[in-house]
Structure 1
Amino acid sequence: MVEVKYALDTFYFLVSGALVMWMAAGFAMLEAGLVRAKNTTEILTKNIALYSLSCIMFLLMGYQIMYGSPEGGWLPNFSFLLGDEHSAESIKAGNADHSLYSDFFFQVVFVATAMSIVSGAVAERMKLSAFLMFTVVLTGFIYPVEGYWKWGSGFLHTLGFNDFAGSAIVHMAGAAAALAGVILLGPRTGKYNQQGQAKGIPGANLPLATLGTFILWMGWFGFNGGSQLALSNIENANAVAKIFVNTNAAAAGGVIAVFLYTRLRYRVSDLTLILNGALAGLVAITAEPLTPSPWVATLIGGVGGLLCSVSITVLDKLKLDDPVGAISVHGVAGIFGVLVVPLTNEGATMTAQLIGLVCIFAWVFTTSFAVWWILKKVVGIRVSQEEEYVGMDKVDCGLEAYPEFTTVSGQNGR
């Protein structure tokens, strides 16, 4: 019976991890749909490269920093590579719930998700080489340290901070790193007029962005459901089922709330805001997808979507140019999700939730800002105005995503 339980929970971990890995495709499609045609190939290259680098860096050092460190501490150990797999004797003795490698696989796709959040926010004007250099540092060091504080049984875990599947640890952390980059990078050329008002820069492929959103929605069942960590008994099976329902309800709530918001405020149904409403709802419920009722989960998702929509407008007024709305979706909705956990989870306290948010944001934003600043001074992080005008596809990749269409560069003979 112990061996069957071990096998079933290991299999569930692997399937959940595969679903989360599929979210990498969702981010790639969403971002490719929301940027201009001349930057599509570059952002697709960025997404597959960041996923691969994340896997290598987490294998090399990130996993051991996050899970091989002392309980209750704030400073992790700096060890390298994975440990040995559980022995048959250890499994039969009941000392292991699932394969070590399945745990690694499930965790590595989470760190790739955090890095994907940064990708969209700095799109259309950042050097690909600088972005990938930052990826190495975030996935190998910055993310594992704050992940250790909670999921590795560090001081935030001891304090009682609750973040079931990573509204703060993954999503807000990715948004904090993105915000630091956006501040140092500056807005896209032409985003703001002489009066400082934001100008819309439509994405090239909204069907692709919609497909990406649905892929992310699907992958989120592995993201949240897999975070239950087990499926092999009645209690866990029921918990996973409820998590699936609540995750789906929150996304739906985000969509409907933002649909109504855009109809009332703009007299149109703004698809880009609606797509981000779905994602914001998913981010908001991620902090605690088990304890709310489905109707409360729907409400949490709806409020998360509305906050995201308002945040996108506010960031535009602050001249923080985020082409895909990643900072609002993952940062603002992530903070909201963490703060509402005590409303449904009696074991959570607002004090612990606030301390966790402050510590994670301060760590990720400060270290990310320092890394971005060093990269800016040493290698530069922004392409030239001429390169930005021509498009990142030709500058970084030498290949256009839509060669059969007339592009800006084609029109100007460049």
Structure 2
Amino acid sequence: MNEIGLSLDTVWMLLAAMLVFWMQPGFALCEAGFTRSKNTANILMKNFVDFMFGSLLFFFLGFGFMFGSEGAGFIGAPNWGDLSFYKGDLPVEGFLIFETVFCATSATIVSGAMAERTKFSMYLIYSAVISLFIYPIEGHWTWGGGWLCSDAADGFMMSTFGDVFHDFAGSAIVHSVGGVLALIGAMALGPRIGKYSKDGKSRAIPGHNLTMAALGVFILWLGWFGFNPGSQLAASGEVNRVAISHVFLTTNLAAAAGGVATMFLTYIKYGKPSLSLTLNGVLAGLVGITAGCDLVSPFGAVVIGLVCGLVLVYAIEFVDHVLHIDDPVGASSVHGICGILGTLMTGLLSTTNGACYGFGWGFFGAQVFGILVIDLWAAVCGFVLFYGIKKLHGLRVGKRVEEEGLDIYEHGEACYN
């Protein structure tokens, strides 16, 4: 590769990393806006912790676990000496920071579902475990050269399905894992005080600032243009230029379709178009397209966005009204359900090997198996982590702290006076 091309690719990778980092304030504003004002400082603090802890822990060990090559496909060796998984000439330090921002995103998803009643000290523990252990190991199976993405003819995936698991930018690896952990964490915590009546009916607890939440979603939408196109990791040459442009288009179309689908469904279902649900509909489309944004057509992206935007509304209702799990921001539905849907629909709508294009069901089978394995890993780890903390020390703040707000009791300051 010539020096100009390599420099361009390096700058593109780092610019994409900046955009993905910019998603962190997007998550912070979105979560804060969807929750009550008395917990805003706590929400913002947790989003800072996710990136600070994620950066350090992923640097020291997580990166090696995810991308090391001496673990027989299950877990990598935590050293920088052997990075044979990586065939390019881009600087390892740049690749590290690009992967760091993805790791922080996975941990951040969990914080919204567990908002307004979690002990900050316990949040530090589970955020660290996600960044250090849960995310890097399943990431190694897929992005780090592990068994789910091995295309060796005698490997498990090729011999079983004739294809490997595909997740271009993280519908499964980042979002569904975060969504599963969010669901289990919220279940372990229990609902907020006053969320459910004695007869089990759900009561709405409105967020304090939809303007803040809307700004957060716009920021996330922008950041996703680093999240998805940035995963190409190169911008020089005709192939990369076309690939990045295609991913930009499919990402944006799915986001728009997701928001439109949710808006019209809430208009029909509730008599008024819901802003808060439409915001989540946009995110649902973005989460859904992330796995196959490189493989599906623009029309396929619209289909994925529409399906995710429609399913989202029913998923949120099911989690809230049927399961009675209190998820203040809908993270388990947006990231969990739609991450799974997007991963599976990639197996159907891929123009190169999808079932709907006459290529058989092998690739779809690989997608089904991959998402099951990844989310089962997240579920088992989540149960051990959250119920272990609950048993040993307790996850939840006291009744008085929850009623008066975590800001003063947990941090000694408030965002609003």
TM-aligned CA deviation for residue 342 of structure 1: 2.0
Name the amino acid aligned to 1:398. Answer: G
TM-aligned CA deviation for residue 305 of structure 1: 1.2
TM-aligned CA deviation for residue 69 of structure 1: 2.5
Retained in 1: the 8 A contact 2:67–2:76?
A: no
Post-superposition CA distance 1:14-36 (Å, at most 9, x none)? 00000000000100000010000
Tell me what 2:170 maps to: 166
TM-aligned CA deviation for residue 142 of structure 1: 0.8
Post-superposition CA distance 1:355-374 (Å, at most 9, x none)? 11111111111112101122
- Pick from 324, 331, 334 the counterpart of residue 329 of structure 1: 334
Give the SS at the match of 2:74: coil
Tell me what 1:200 maps to: 204
Q: Identify which range, 60-69 or 175-184, moves more after superposition.
A: 175-184
Name the amino acid aligned to 2:365. Answer: T
Retained in 2: the 8 A contact 1:70–1:154?
A: no
Tell me what 2:126 maps to: 134
Tell me what 2:411 maps to: 397
Q: Identify which range, 344-353 or 99-108, moves more after superposition.
A: 344-353
In the alignment, the residues of structure 1 paired with residue 365 and residue 385 of structure 2 have an alpha-carbon distance, to the nearest angstrom, of 30
In the alignment, the residues of structure 2 paired with residue 278 and residue 170 of structure 1 have an alpha-carbon distance, to the nearest angstrom, of 17
Tell me what 2:234 maps to: 230
Q: Identify which range, 287-296 or 178-187, moves more after superposition.
A: 287-296
Q: Are 1:77 and 2:73 an aligned pair? A: no
Give the SS at the match of 1:340: helix
Tell me what 2:161 maps to: none
TM-aligned CA deviation for residue 299 of structure 1: 1.9
Tell me what 1:412 maps to: none
- Pick from 278, 293, 302 the counterpart of residue 274 of structure 1: 278
After superposition, residues 85-104 of structure 1 pair within 5 angstroms as: 96-104=88-96
TM-aligned CA deviation for residue 295 of structure 1: 2.5
If the length of structure 2 is used for normalisation, what is the TM-score? 0.92
TM-aligned CA deviation for residue 83 of structure 1: 4.7
TM-aligned CA deviation for residue 253 of structure 1: 0.3
- Pick from 113, 121, 124 the counterpart of residue 116 of structure 2: 124
Name the amino acid aligned to 1:303. Answer: V
After superposition, residues 334-349 of structure 1 pair within 5 angstroms as: 334-345=339-350, 346-347=352-353, 349=363
TM-aligned CA deviation for residue 204 of structure 1: 0.4
Q: Are 1:315 and 2:319 an aligned pair? A: yes
Retained in 2: the 8 A contact 1:250–1:282?
A: yes
Q: Are 1:290 and 2:294 an aligned pair? A: yes
After superposition, residues 17-166 of structure 1 pair within 5 angstroms as: 17-70=17-70, 73-80=72-79, 82-83=80-81, 96-158=88-150, 159=157, 160-166=164-170
Tell me what 1:265 maps to: 269
Give the SS at the match of 2:324: coil
In the alignment, the residues of structure 1 paired with residue 367 and residue 308 of structure 2 have an alpha-carbon distance, to the nearest angstrom, of 17
Tell me what 1:12 maps to: 12
Retained in 1: the 8 A contact 2:287–2:335?
A: yes
TM-aligned CA deviation for residue 200 of structure 1: 0.3
Q: CA RMSD in A?
A: 1.7
Post-superposition CA distance 1:279-338 (Å, at most 9, x none)? 000000001112222222122111111111110000012111100000000001001000
In the alignment, the residues of structure 1 paired with residue 348 and residue 396 of structure 2 have an alpha-carbon distance, to the nearest angstrom, of 43
In the alignment, the residues of structure 2 paired with residue 163 and residue 114 of structure 1 have an alpha-carbon distance, to the nearest angstrom, of 15
- Pick from 370, 390, 407 the counterpart of residue 356 of structure 1: 370
Retained in 2: the 8 A contact 1:277–1:304?
A: yes
Name the amino acid aligned to 1:55. Answer: S
Give the SS at the match of 2:228: helix
In the alignment, the residues of structure 2 paired with residue 157 and residue 95 of structure 1 have an alpha-carbon distance, to the nearest angstrom, of 15
TM-aligned CA deviation for residue 78 of structure 1: 4.1
In the alignment, the residues of structure 2 paired with residue 350 and residue 342 of structure 1 have an alpha-carbon distance, to the nearest angstrom, of 4
Name the amino acid aligned to 1:59. Answer: F
In the alignment, the residues of structure 2 paired with residue 10 and residue 239 of structure 1 have an alpha-carbon distance, to the nearest angstrom, of 16
Tell me what 1:302 maps to: 306
Retained in 2: the 8 A contact 1:186–1:320?
A: yes
In the alignment, the residues of structure 1 paired with residue 346 and residue 107 of structure 2 have an alpha-carbon distance, to the nearest angstrom, of 25
Give the SS at the match of 1:343: helix
Structure 2 unmatched ranges of 5 or more: 151-156, 158-163, 355-362
Percent identity of equivalent pairs:
44
Retained in 1: the 8 A contact 2:191–2:326?
A: yes
In the alignment, the residues of structure 1 paired with residue 131 and residue 298 of structure 2 have an alpha-carbon distance, to the nearest angstrom, of 34
In the alignment, the residues of structure 1 paired with residue 274 and residue 31 of structure 2 have an alpha-carbon distance, to the nearest angstrom, of 17
In the alignment, the residues of structure 2 paired with residue 357 and residue 85 of structure 1 have an alpha-carbon distance, to the nearest angstrom, of 26
Q: Are 1:248 and 2:225 an aligned pair? A: no
In the alignment, the residues of structure 2 paired with residue 245 and residue 95 of structure 1 have an alpha-carbon distance, to the nearest angstrom, of 27
If the length of structure 1 is used for normalisation, what is the TM-score? 0.92
TM-aligned CA deviation for residue 230 of structure 1: 1.1
Retained in 2: the 8 A contact 1:172–1:332?
A: yes
In the alignment, the residues of structure 2 paired with residue 76 and residue 69 of structure 1 have an alpha-carbon distance, to the nearest angstrom, of 8
Structure 1 unmatched ranges of 5 or more: 87-93, 404-414
Tell me what 1:90 maps to: none
Post-superposition CA distance 1:361-393 (Å, at most 9, x none)? 111111121011221122211001111001011
In the alignment, the residues of structure 1 paired with residue 300 and residue 82 of structure 2 have an alpha-carbon distance, to the nearest angstrom, of 43
Name the amino acid aligned to 2:288. Answer: A
